[in-house]
Amino acid sequence: MTRPSLLALCLLAACSPRAGTKKPETADTPVAAGAKAPVAGFRQADAPAQGEAAPVLLAMRAEIARAQAALATTESAKPYYFSYRVTEADTVEIVASRGSLDLSTRDRGRVLDLELRVGDPSFDNYHWRHRPSPGMAGTRSAGLWGQDLPIDDDASAITAALWLATDTAFKQATAQYEHAKTQQQLAAKTDDDAPDFSQEKPVRSLEAPSSLEIDSALWEDRVRRLSKAFERHPQVLASEVRLVASAGTRYFVSNQGSEIQSGQRHTRLILSATAKADDGMDLAHVDIVDVRDASELPDDAALAARVDALATQLEALRTAPVAEPFTGPAVLEGRAAAVYFHEVFGHRVEGHRQEDESEGQTFADKVGATVMPAFIDVFDDPTIGSIDGVFLNGHYRHDDEGVTARRSNLIDGGKLVGFLMSRTPTKGFASSNGHGRAQPGADVVARQGNLIVAPREGLTKAALDEALLRSIREQGKPYGLRFVEINGGLTNTSRYMAQAFQVNPVVVFRVYADGHEELVRGVTLEGTPLSSLSKIVAAGDRFETFNGFCGAESGFIPVSAASPALLLSQIEVARAPAAQDRPPLLPPPPATAGGAR
């Protein structure tokens, strides 16, 4: 199977409450007059409770030792590295619409992902996965992904499954290693001599397995009642309330001595609704709340207020004018700014993209170069658990290659200083910084975790608004734009397609030179990365956070990002796709008692 170029799809709906920040009396770096460095309440995640090795980890430990001894005696190429990654999940999902339950399930499963490397760290069977030459796409690396394991703690059944998976992976790896050596003889020489795999210290961390404690009957009733609240808004055509609560435990064992057992809980409540404008344009809006446990979700009154706010915005969009193609100044409010950085910058500094010749390699040769304004710093730190009390979906303690997560500095004073690294080295960066990630059933690559845009200076909201008005007048534009709410975005990093990004905003205002604002609909924000990043001219002083799930070649993974609002001197927007069919001709049926229209 050939490895696809990236077209990342990020479901990054603005899903966290606005988070204010304290303003410092002094700043660590010189700032513009009237500006202060934004400060957020970054909090490291609490230390997890330690535990004993679970039966599944004991079985993994025993089988990897047995396999290592057996494979060391083979006459063919011998593996120098292999690992078992097992993901265990217990998930409750409850869905309701119009006061009626649509789905209520509880599912438990275990998935095995196995990585096996033949050769040595400088050159192994993974080589052409990372460095495919033009016309010679890399084959998927030699391992097994997504194998179901027994959910019972039966050591014999678990080790039997591990044994068969290891045997298959070894046969694949030896064949692909020979293929990689042949391809190497045919390929042109490059100036990149980075090895295929980094040397990392073994990690041993045994946390208590995670367990899911939730009253499904109670939440079925709450989700039903919450979904009924949409009935107060007759212009909403379809709506849904979805609760997904999960407890997961990840187990990792390698033949290099790593043993990791880590548990994590996550609950997501999704409020979503659709409507249709009179001209046929389809409209959709979503509000998402992410917390660790269901008990931390807002109360019924607060959630009903969020339903009303979401539906009211959707109703206002129905009658808003359609936006026209435009270039000019704009403010991206915090969540929109965070998604913008995730798409424009974050994917392009994932380490493996600097090696892959099919990638655009936007920043591959720009380490030390200025790529954005000097007052911008950017880092990614998966160890942060919350910002101003807002839970971060992208938090984790160890990545999916058994490496301890840590902060990765990416931009320092506008200059590129690093990449997000897995155990796949790139030129000038020999080690992982704990960003090797994948969903169960996918191959690990470098991915984002908690991406933080941290300007060295920030303006109050009033000052940033005035800077936008001043930019509108100086450029002679009839208006600028303010991006408030977004539903996600996508980006392409392949060199065989345009190096472009697209962010899909939902709530956008035209801001006129006299200061009045007008809601518009049907907008997409798009552009090219280097040009767009150079247009940032100011930032706000209040961080905002989003949580979401980002899809790329290693699957969908949880991510977070935080940023203050950003002022860009120029952005480009285009019209969103339009539909031609009319709204429903028949009036909606009358609601039952308790949900009167």
Q: Where are the domains of the chain?
A: 7-17+37-48+323-575, 55-90+107-206, 216-319
For the residues of 352-381, what is the DSSP string, one character each? Answer: GGGT-TTB--TTTT-TTSB-S-TTEEEEE-
pLDDT score at 191 = 67
Q: Does the structure show a pLDDT above 70 at 413?
A: yes
Residue 526 and residue 576: Cα distance in Å, rounded? Answer: 11
Q: Does the structure show a pLDDT above 50 at 70?
A: yes
Q: Does the structure show a pLDDT above 50 at 15?
A: no
Share of the chain above pLDDT 70, in %: 89
pLDDT digits (tens, 9 = 90+) for 33-55: 457 777 678 888 888 889 999 99
Task: Please give the residue that has the higher pLDDT: either 466 or 529.
Answer: 466
Task: Please give the residue that has the higher pLDDT: either 361 or 190.
Answer: 361
Residue 491: band (very low, low, confident or very high) from pLDDT cuts 50, 70, 90: confident
Q: Does the structure show a pLDDT above 60 at 22?
A: no
pLDDT score at 141 = 52
Residue 25: band (very low, low, confident or very high) from pLDDT cuts 50, 70, 90: very low
pLDDT digits (tens, 9 = 90+) for 418-435: 999 999 999 899 999 999
pLDDT score at 73 = 85
pLDDT score at 29 = 30
Residue 493 and residue 416: Cα distance in Å, rounded? Answer: 18
Closest CA to 15 of 462, 411, 549, 400: 549
* Pair 248, 124: CB distance under 8 Å: no
pLDDT score at 364 = 84
pLDDT score at 45 = 87
pLDDT score at 188 = 72
* Pair 157, 63: CB distance under 8 Å: no
Share of the chain above pLDDT 90, in %: 71
Q: Is 216-319 a CATH 3.40.50.12280 domain?
A: no
Residue 555 and residue 312: Cα distance in Å, rounded? Answer: 34
Residue 129: band (very low, low, confident or very high) from pLDDT cuts 50, 70, 90: low
pLDDT digits (tens, 9 = 90+) for 165-178: 999 999 999 999 99
The SS3 call for residue 424 is coil
Task: Please give the residue that has the higher pLDDT: either 240 or 3.
Answer: 240
Q: What is the mean pLDDT of the chain?
A: 88
Positive/negative CA dihedral, 484, 486, 491, 497: negative
pLDDT score at 28 = 31
Q: How far is C-alpha 381 from the chain's CA centre?
A: 13
Q: How far is C-alpha 264 from the chain's CA centre?
A: 17
Of 223-232, 467-476, 487-496, minimum mean pLDDT range: 487-496
Of 59-68, 196-205, 255-264, 479-488, minimum mean pLDDT range: 479-488
Residue 536 and residue 552: Cα distance in Å, rounded? Answer: 27
Q: Does the structure show a pLDDT above 50 at 27?
A: no
Q: Give me 317's structure tokens.
A: 């969009």
Q: Counting beta carbons within 10 angstroms of the beta carbon of residue 204, is it exposed (0 to 12), middle (13 to 18) or buried (19 or more)?
A: exposed
Distances (CA, A) of 18 to 336, 515, 589: 12, 23, 37
DSSP bridge partners of 95: 103, 242
pLDDT digits (tens, 9 = 90+) for 134-186: 334 344 455 567 899 999 999 999 999 999 999 999 999 999 999 888 888 88
Highest mean pLDDT among 17-26, 394-403, 547-556: 394-403
pLDDT digits (tens, 9 = 90+) for 294-325: 999 999 999 999 999 999 999 999 999 999 99
pLDDT score at 46 = 85
pLDDT score at 189 = 75
* Pair 399, 203: CB distance under 8 Å: no
**pTM of the predicted structure, to 2 decimals:** 0.90
Residue 342 and residue 586: Cα distance in Å, rounded? Answer: 43
Q: How much is the average pLDDT of 394-409?
A: 97
Task: Please give the residue that has the higher pLDDT: either 30 or 74.
Answer: 74
Q: How much is the average pLDDT of 494-511?
A: 83
pLDDT score at 38 = 79
pLDDT score at 24 = 28
Q: Does the structure show a pLDDT above 90 at 356?
A: no
Distances (CA, A) of 590 to 234, 314, 318, 326, 390: 10, 21, 22, 42, 39
Q: Does the structure show a pLDDT above 70 at 125?
A: yes
